Chain A
């Protein structure tokens, strides 16, 4: 008994009853499509979030004033008034920790921005030149903030796309002077449109040198310090060094230092679990499809009683008959699995095109799992009908259905 022969035998049986086979396939197809598209959406969401974080910079460490920024609770610690983060802190971090490529002090305030009679309120971000690389900002024209001493606040500004648009319409803003608060700043660059992203909407922002930002806000401290690390740095080790250095300088841990991707990690693990749960629920539909296959196979066995009787009469043993019917069920379900894979892939690529922002792709593990699952479904639910066929009494079976 060779596998190929029995395969041919089973295939002929499946093809004999095309409509019924097709209907029982349909259940598997739907189940597979459901599992595939749901995991693809989950994976897409995961990729979306990951890429959003990547655009914020993945090897970034954030230092902010106050002890418990991310865990909530008392913002300014229990042990007395915290020291502010200063430009000096930022410089020390950059010079003392070799893994730090750039230490970027950031100040944030909201000011009136006006050009001639047009005005609007906008978030004003004080930063340094390295911020451009850190946030992967693209310039539509001009250039980003100049390289200069941290405490030198030049009177220049880089406008976000929307700000520039509202103040200047189609006119070229480069070289013009805008008023920010009571300051007059020369426009040296305009950012490309970027759209809404996790975090701030850079289209609405105006960037100025950090020292200017601090003065404008009348502050001696910065809102936060962002550390841009060299690639492949040990982020946890850097976090430790930052803590040591700042504790040395402040005499207490009155700041919060976290990896930017800490949030990403917990978010992606939540998304991963959600995807698995949803896919698990979808795979229940595969079990239902398996029952459909079982039903069809039971009908098929009872319709082909005389054939089973004949197989026994010509000398097929129980194992061979069991195998033939099991193979038939497996053939049905794996054909359904492949069809579902084709249909699901098509649907997923359509979805991917409809939502270009999201990268919707069925992950390889899901494809492998769903194919194995559909094949397994056929075998598991094919056992009962096949076992029945193999146990038929040949004399009774030969008398027909």
Chain B
């Protein structure tokens, strides 16, 4: 189980303070598939970074499998990311000079896994995303969908319980996007916890549960199947009634919406 309690994250830019997260609380069960949806600037990526131990909240607590992670030091956070969390990014973040296989092997280098085992596990991981025939290819020889599948193979090679995806289909055409979503569904079916940040209702719809964010807070929570188009998502409780989710809601206390 993952739980954040009253998490705040504020960026200071010059004289102005930007509250990316304003007291967010949320619980995600093990094996749950959760989508976080919201317009840009709503704080969804910041929340994902906090969940992934890449960013530390200024205030609040974060429990990962019962352990308060907010108090850990850099090395312990790195170890947590290494063993328990897999990341999938919109822009793939493959190392350009390494082959697909080497990219998948990389996390295991930092875990100190011996080369032979590493190779074998990386191959299995690539096979699981259907890219056995692309082991020796470098990222610039792969299509976008293939790159993201390599990234997925990399994120799962250490067998983490939690997968965090930031707009995983954002840079893909609809066909490879659908492939990637199918892969994610498989990983979920294997029992992994999935958190997907997206602004695409079509992606959110495949999740068990959708968390709608706006202005650094959680606007509401709906079931995946209930997700309609973007406008309808923000209809409820959108303070200024324009349905685009770009304003007004900040005045509505998040806690009140949750009740």
Contacts and interface: CB of A to CB of B under 8 A. Distances in A.
Interface of A: 1-2, 4-6, 9, 12-13, 15-16, 306-307, 309-320, 394-395, 398, 400
Nearest to B74: A318
Nearest to A317: B78
A369 to B, nearest CB: 34
A312 B112 CA distance: 15
Nearest to A390: B74
B81 A12 contact: no
Interface string B201-227: 000000000000000000000000000
Given A312-B78, A313-B81, A313-B87, A320 B110 contact: yes
Contacts of A2: 109, 112, 114-115
B27 to A, nearest CB: 23
Contacts of A400: 91
A312 B89 CA distance: 13
A312 B54 contact: yes
Interface of B: 49, 52, 54-55, 74-75, 78-79, 81-83, 87, 89, 91, 93, 95-98, 106-107, 109-112, 114-115, 154, 158
Given A2-B115, A316-B78, A318-B78, 9 more contacts: A2-B109, A5-B109, A16-B97, A315-B78, A316-B82, A317-B110, A318-B75, A320-B110, A398-B54
Nearest to B158: A315
24 contacts: A1-B110, A2-B109, A2-B114, A2-B115, A5-B109, A5-B115, A16-B96, A16-B97, A307-B93, A309-B93, A312-B81, A313-B52, A314-B81, A314-B106, A315-B107, A315-B110, A315-B111, A316-B82, A317-B78, A318-B75, A394-B54, A394-B55, A395-B49, A398-B54
A105 B107 CA distance: 85
A310 B55 CA distance: 14
B86 to A, nearest CB: 8
B166 to A, nearest CB: 9
B82 A315 contact: yes
A316 B110 contact: yes
Nearest to B87: A313
Contacts of A9: 109
A314 B75 contact: no
Contacts of B111: 315
A6 B109 contact: yes
- By Cβ-Cβ distance, the 10 closest A-B pairs, closest first, are A315-B82, A317-B78, A314-B107, A315-B81, A310-B93, A16-B97, A5-B109, A316-B110, A394-B54, A313-B87
B53 to A, nearest CB: 9
A398 B83 CA distance: 20
A315 to B, nearest CB: 2
Contacts of B93: 306-307, 309-310, 313, 398
Contacts of B54: 312-313, 394-395, 398
A307 to B, nearest CB: 6
Contact of B75 (A12, A307, A309, A317): A317
A244 to B, nearest CB: 76
Contacts of B154: 314
A395 B55 contact: yes
A319 B74 CA distance: 10
A310 B82 contact: no
Nearest to A16: B97
A398 B52 CA distance: 13
B106 to A, nearest CB: 6
A67 to B, nearest CB: 78
A388 to B, nearest CB: 15
A324 to B, nearest CB: 10
Contacts of A398: 54, 89, 93
A4 to B, nearest CB: 8
Contacts of A6: 109
A306 B96 CA distance: 11
A400 B106 CA distance: 19
Contacts of B55: 394-395
A316 B79 CA distance: 8
A378 to B, nearest CB: 20
Contacts of A12: 97-98
The residue among A9, A307, A317, A320 with the most chain B CB atoms within 10 A of its own CB is A317
A6 to B, nearest CB: 7
Nearest to B93: A310
Contact of B95 (A310, A312, A318, A395): A310
Contacts of B52: 313
The residue among A1, A307, A310, A313 with the most chain B CB atoms within 10 A of its own CB is A313
A273 B96 CA distance: 51
A2 B83 CA distance: 18
A1 B87 contact: no
A6 B75 CA distance: 18
A1 B81 contact: no
The residue among B55, B96, B110, B112 with the most chain A CB atoms within 10 A of its own CB is B110
The residue among A306, A307, A315, A319 with the most chain B CB atoms within 10 A of its own CB is A315
B109 A13 contact: no
Contact of B110 (A306, A309, A314, A395): A314
